[in-house]
Amino acid sequence: MTYEELVKKYANENQLALDEAAHFIDGFFAVIKLNIATGEDVHIYKLGIFSSAAIKTRLSKNSKTNKVEIEADKIYPHFKPSKGLGREVKPGKVKKVQPPKKTVVRKEVQEDGTIVTHKEKVNVSPVLLIDRYFKRIIMFLVLFLVFLSAAFYFGFNYFKNKVLQPYMDKRIEHYLFEKGYTYSAVEEMVNSGYQNVMERSDKHSRETSETLTAEFKKLKEEQDAYFKKVIKMESYLKKKIAGMIKPQLKKRRKRAQVEMRLYTVKKNDTLWSLSRKYLKNPYNWVGLYKTNGKKIKDPDKIYPGQKIFIPKIKEY
């Protein structure tokens, strides 16, 4: 409950204005503070006792700077509820549980400058106690899991080597005895089977190698024949084009060198675009068409991947 809620509730129960209720509550707490400051106890019937407790000058460790400092005298309020309030708030008998205690060493500085050490037993915080027990439980579980894993690993290996392996050896020996075999005979059969497999593998490798060699040789011969055909075609076209341009060169008193380029047709290529790009004049597409002869059946249709010859004439 907040201060404002307390004022509203007191005003409603006693039919007072809010400022009157606040004035009364402030006066009540002011009297309690004044008496605690002067060291007097305030006894309120069926509520409890408001008193003051003093802490003498002592040495304390600053948590921020980690330095030992001297704390001056302090007075803080203390409230002890009455038995009647305890019965009203918590009816019935409640068993008191004594919290665990730990020994704390406190040092006090006397007037003559000497330091006196006092040992006191204080209650341990329930949060710290729960945290301590929780850490112990986690540590115990981790150690238990490590021990269980190690026991399983070593136990499995022992069972495998001492129990399972001898059992399997006996079963295999009994089976071979029933079939009339021995270990040496089985070993010989395995070795012979392995030898047969290796021989078949070598034979297959030799056959595959011979097949690949023959195919490669055939491919090489086809490639050489194709290159010879291309070279022959290229020389023929050079002579043909040289004969076609000879009269014009004779008039201009110039000579020319003819070179042939084997071009692979790409998408969107036409004889018109190729003549403009390589022959510097798109109207030379007719000569490009005649140069390739039977390779181009329709001058309006050339296809991607098709190989054609494009002449290149250098005059000098």
Q: Is the pLDDT at 180 greater than 60, yes or no?
A: yes
Tell me what pLDDT residue 151 has: 92
Query: Which band of pLDDT confidence, cut at 50, 70 and 90, is reported for residue 150?
Result: very high
Domains of the chain are 235-315 (3.10.350.10)
Q: What are phi and psi of 98, to 5 degrees?
A: -75, 120
Query: Which band of pLDDT confidence, cut at 50, 70 and 90, is reported for residue 18?
Result: confident
Mean pLDDT over all residues of the chain? 77
Query: Which band of pLDDT confidence, cut at 50, 70 and 90, is reported for residue 132?
Result: confident
Tell me which residue of 104, 38, 108, 103 sits closest to 71, measured CA to CA: 108
**Mean pLDDT on 172-192:** 71
Query: Could you read off the pLDDT of 183-233 as tens digits, one per residue?
Result: 666 677 777 777 777 788 788 888 888 888 888 888 888 888 877 877 777
**Mean pLDDT on 26-35:** 82
CA–CA separation, 146 and 133 (whole Å): 20
CA–CA separation, 124 and 290 (whole Å): 109
- What is the DSSP code string of the chain? --HHHHHHHHHHHHT--HHHHHHHHHHHHHHHHHHHHTT--EEETTTEEEEEEEE-SEEEE-TTT--EEEE--EEEEEEEE-HHHHHHHS-S-----PPPEEEEEEEEE-TTS-EEEEEEEEEPPHHHHHHHHHHHHHHHHHHHHHHHHHHHHHHHHHHIIIIIHHHHHHHHHHHHHHHT--HHHHHHHHHHHHHHHHHHHHHHHHHHHHHHHHHHHHHHHHHHHHHHHHHHHHHHHHHHHHHHHHHHHHHHT--EEEEEEEEE--TT--HHHHHHHHSS-GGGHHHHHHHHGGG-SBTTB--TT-EEEEEEEEE-
Query: Could you read off the pLDDT of 281-298 as tens digits, one per residue?
Result: 788 788 788 877 777 888
pTM greater than the 0.85 cutoff:
no
Tell me what pLDDT residue 148 has: 93
Tell me what pLDDT residue 146 has: 93
Query: Which band of pLDDT confidence, cut at 50, 70 and 90, is reported for residue 276?
Result: confident
Tell me what pLDDT residue 46 has: 72
Tell me what pLDDT residue 143 has: 93
